[in-house]
């Protein structure tokens, strides 16, 4: 019954997505199809299972490989369609400018769009300038509507063009579009100083009216993009804050319920035993709280505004972590790394302390007894447990301290938030070190792997769905999106990915046998 209900919800979401994508024409449908092919393998798997038909391994691999291939195919079609629409709109724009050359005022009124650059409220609003486009150019142009004011008046564009120099960014072309303007040219100076110089000149001349970004266009050439600041990150609204509070309350409940389930009772059926579940529940909540403190410590250090955390309650772990949005533009990729990495680093360190100290305190008669096979479920947990507990881990049942359970859950929560996908902490870390194109690739790979694991573990499937619908897009670019962080941060990024693998990947039977686990 639950499987049928989940399938119905998933199909309903796909239908809702189609209705949203249809008005956008071919581009919207292609983007929707990418989502569909990611969901089809597990929809078919669970649909067949509900009907009593069970696929073998070959059938499962065929579904997953086909899904990955179609995802890549539709992605290429989407990019090609975007470029085609961009070229058409650019040609139309050039024609209009030529037609109105005798009327400079009309030119400013018509300086409307050669590209939509996506939705500026979305995480990829800036980087996709010239890559995402408006609805199909086959739609007739309606001249009976009043002409819209351009986002940047022509006189302001003329002033901004004067900010560029031969020793910083040598401008060769200006391309107005619906959300602002793209200034193409050649980067002559150091990226960091050039970005700061342009940003400072904008502030001196226009105050906080405009925001500039130095980044790579789809052809990997440096461009400067200028937006009105009103199109930047939005502050959290009152309904969103109410939702954040509601999710926080729900997370407290699920953390306590998880602690109760670990002790073989249901807090809803036995509420008088809440004191038994509270210590472990508080331990999980402490991990989540320290994670958020890590983010906000560095955000405050760099004067970056963050939204309230939108926690993701989960009965399996207490919580999957939280979603936190940037409410101000990040100046460079080093700042993006520090803020993104600080949360899982703080929460992961506390979880490790809980785990290790719990192992040290574990002895015969400890409150929890875990099957030895449990320790095979994680390379890191199994190896550390073998090191600390010694031969005791060879027993059928291993006595462990509650802190060990708290640490184990905390490490899992930290690891899934460090997955290199979208605007998760791990995705932001990868984006800060390797750039947006790399994180788009790593997101696709992560989703495919989660889809494979999700065929056997609903936890991975649930997390994949959350990423697809909430966190799939990369973080918006930084003001200076070209300057890379230093080597120390690059090493920390690699270490974080390694820890994700060590925590989430199980021991092979051969390795577990050699370690004497179970």
Same domain, 85 and 192: no
Q: Compute the distance between CA of residue 389 and CA of residue 241 in angstroms, rounded to an integer.
A: 45
Same domain, 338 and 222: no
240 in a domain, yes or no? no
Contact 236, 327 (CB under 8 A): yes
Contact 227, 479 (CB under 8 A): no
142 in a domain, yes or no? no
252 in a domain, yes or no? no
Choose one of 69, 99, 129: the last residue of a domain.
99
Same domain, 359 and 501: yes
106 in a domain, yes or no? no
Same domain, 57 and 164: no
Same domain, 6 and 79: yes
* Tokens (6 digits) for 471: 């966190």
Q: In which domain, by residue range, is 171 found? A: 154-231
The residue assigned the tokens 């509900």 is 50
Same domain, 358 and 460: yes
Tallying the residues shown for the chain, one arrives at: 518
Same domain, 485 and 425: yes
255 in a domain, yes or no? no
333 in a domain, yes or no? yes
452 in a domain, yes or no? yes
Same domain, 159 and 45: no
Determine the pLDDT at residue 42: 64
Same domain, 404 and 289: yes
Number of separate domains in the chain: 3
Choose one of 99, 114, 143: the last residue of a domain.
99
Digitized pLDDT (tens) for each residue of the chain, 518 residues in all? 555 666 676 677 778 778 877 887 887 788 778 777 767 776 776 666 666 665 555 566 666 667 767 777 777 777 777 666 656 665 565 555 556 554 544 434 443 333 333 333 344 444 444 443 333 333 444 444 455 667 788 888 888 888 888 888 888 888 887 778 888 888 887 888 888 888 888 888 888 888 888 888 877 888 888 888 887 788 888 998 999 999 999 999 999 988 888 888 888 888 888 888 888 899 999 999 999 999 999 999 999 999 999 998 888 888 888 889 998 889 999 999 999 999 999 999 999 999 999 988 888 777 788 887 888 888 888 888 888 888 778 778 888 888 999 999 999 999 989 988 888 899 999 999 988 888 888 888 888 888 777 777 767 777 777 777 777 788 888 888 888 888 888 889 888 888 888 888 888 777 777 777 76
Q: How far is CA 378 from CA 393, 465, 515, in A?
A: 14, 23, 13
Q: Compute the distance between CA of residue 250 and CA of residue 320 in angstroms, rounded to an integer.
A: 12
DSSP lists the bridge partners of residue 215 as: 223
* Tokens (6 digits) for 441: 């690739």
């Amino acid at each position: 019954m639950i499987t049928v209900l989940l399938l119905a919800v998933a199909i309903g979401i796909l239908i809702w997505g189609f209705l949203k994508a249809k008005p956008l024409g071919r581009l919207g449908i292609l983007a929707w199809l990418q989502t569909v092919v990611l969901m089809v393998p597990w929809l078919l798997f669970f649909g067949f299972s509900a009907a009593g038909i069970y696929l073998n391994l070959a059938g499962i691999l065929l579904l997953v490989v086909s899904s990955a291939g179609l995802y890549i195919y539709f992605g290429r079609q989407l990019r090609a369609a975007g470029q085609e629409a961009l070229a058409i709109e650019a040609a139309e724009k050039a024609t209009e400018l030529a037609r109105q050359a005798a009327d400079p005022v009309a030119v400013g009124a018509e300086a409307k769009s050669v590209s939509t650059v996506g939705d500026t409220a979305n995480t990829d609003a800036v980087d996709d300038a010239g890559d995402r486009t408006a609805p199909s150019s086959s739609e007739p142009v309606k001249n009976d509507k009043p002409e819209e004011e351009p986002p940047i008046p022509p006189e302001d564009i003329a002033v901004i063009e004067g900010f560029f120099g031969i020793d910083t960014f040598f401008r060769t072309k200006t391309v107005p579009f619906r959300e602002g303007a793209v200034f193409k040219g050649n980067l002559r100076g150091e990226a960091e100083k050039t970005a700061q110089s342009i940003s400072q000149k904008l502030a001196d001349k226009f105050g906080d009216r405009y925001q500039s970004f130095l980044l790579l266009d789809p052809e990997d050439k440096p461009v400067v993009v200028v937006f009105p600041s009103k199109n930047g990150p939005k502050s959290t609204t009152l309904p969103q804050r109410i939702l954040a509070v509601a999710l926080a309350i729900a997370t407290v409940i699920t953390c306590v319920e998880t602690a109760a389930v670990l002790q073989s009772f249901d807090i809803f059926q036995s509420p008088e035993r809440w004191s038994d579940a509270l210590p472990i529940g508080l331990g999980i909540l402490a991990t989540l709280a320290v994670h958020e403190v890590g983010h906000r410590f560095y955000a405050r250090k760099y004067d970056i505004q963050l939204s309230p955390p939108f926690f993701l309650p989960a009965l399996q772990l207490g919580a999957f972590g939280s979603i936190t949005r940037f409410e101000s533009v990040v100046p460079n990729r080093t700042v993006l790394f520090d803020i993104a990495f600080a949360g899982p680093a703080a929460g992961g360190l506390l979880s490790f302390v809980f785990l290790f100290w719990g192992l040290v305190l574990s002895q015969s008669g400890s409150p929890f007894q875990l099957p030895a096979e449990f320790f095979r479920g994680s390379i890191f947990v199994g190896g550390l447990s073998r090191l600390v507990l010694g031969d005791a881990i060879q027993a059928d049942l291993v006595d462990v301290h509650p802190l060990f359970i708290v640490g184990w859950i905390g490490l899992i929560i930290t690891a899934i938030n460090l997955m290199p996908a979208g605007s998760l902490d791990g995705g932001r870390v990868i984006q800060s070190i390797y750039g947006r194109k790399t994180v788009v690739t790593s997101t696709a790979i992560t989703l495919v792997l989660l889809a494979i694991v999700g065929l056997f573990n609903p936890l991975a499937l649930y997390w994949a769905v959350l990423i697809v619908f909430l966190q799939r897009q990369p973080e918006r670019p930084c003001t200076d999106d070209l300057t890379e962080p230093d080597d120390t941060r690059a090493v920390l990024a690699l270490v974080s990915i390694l820890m994700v693998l060590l925590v989430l990947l199980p021991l092979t039977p051969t390795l577990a046998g050699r370690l004497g686990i179970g």
